[in-house]
Amino acid sequence: MKKTKTPIKVRYQETDQMGVVYHANYLVWFEIGRTDFIESLGFQYHEMEAQGVVSPVVDVQMSFKHPIRYGQEAFVETWIGDYDGLRVTYQYEIKDSEGRLAVSGSSKHVVVKKDTFRPVSLRRGFPEWDRAYKQALGVE
């Protein structure tokens, strides 16, 4: 199973009054990790968009374990948890610089036509992405 590890430097603006990363910012970090993961497979999300499709989030799960504070470094580990040719679920673990798990979670996405929001099969419409996702899962 393929995983990426993306460094994040905690910025002051990402924290709350207690100096702890504000919970909604972890969703942004999930996106940073997901983008890095996709690029590690050799793809650019904007290239897919240029072909008239987008990949909206249809579900997100997050579980908070340990705070990350301003000035710390964090890492987003990203991998594919599930893929069926139409939907993909990315898994995430955000850890602090000491390796402590701060946040775990997932986001489920479906590829749709930009103008109609009708689902698009990656197997048929983007076979190279389909192969790469299956390889990243270790099923091909």
What are the sequence ranges of the domains in the chain?
A: 4-137
Contacts of residue 133, defined as CB under 8 A and 6 or more positions apart, other chains included, come to 41, 80, 83, 88, 122
Whether 16 is a known active-site residue: answer: yes
Query: 54-109: per-residue pLDDT in tens?
Result: 999 999 999 999 999 998 999 999 999 999 999 999 999 999 999 999 999 999 99
Which is the catalytic residue, given 16, 59, 82, 84? 16
SS3 40: helix
Structure tokens at 44: 């650019």
For the domain with range 4-137, which CATH number is right: 3.30.420.40, 3.40.640.10, 3.30.365.10, 3.10.129.10? 3.10.129.10
Residues 67, 73, 74, CA angle at the centre, nearest 5°? 60
State percent of the chain over pLDDT 70: 99
Q: How far apart are the first and last CA of the chain?
A: 11
pLDDT at 19: 87
What is the average pLDDT across 8-24? 91
Taken in order 22, 23, 25, 30, is the CA torsion positive or negative? positive
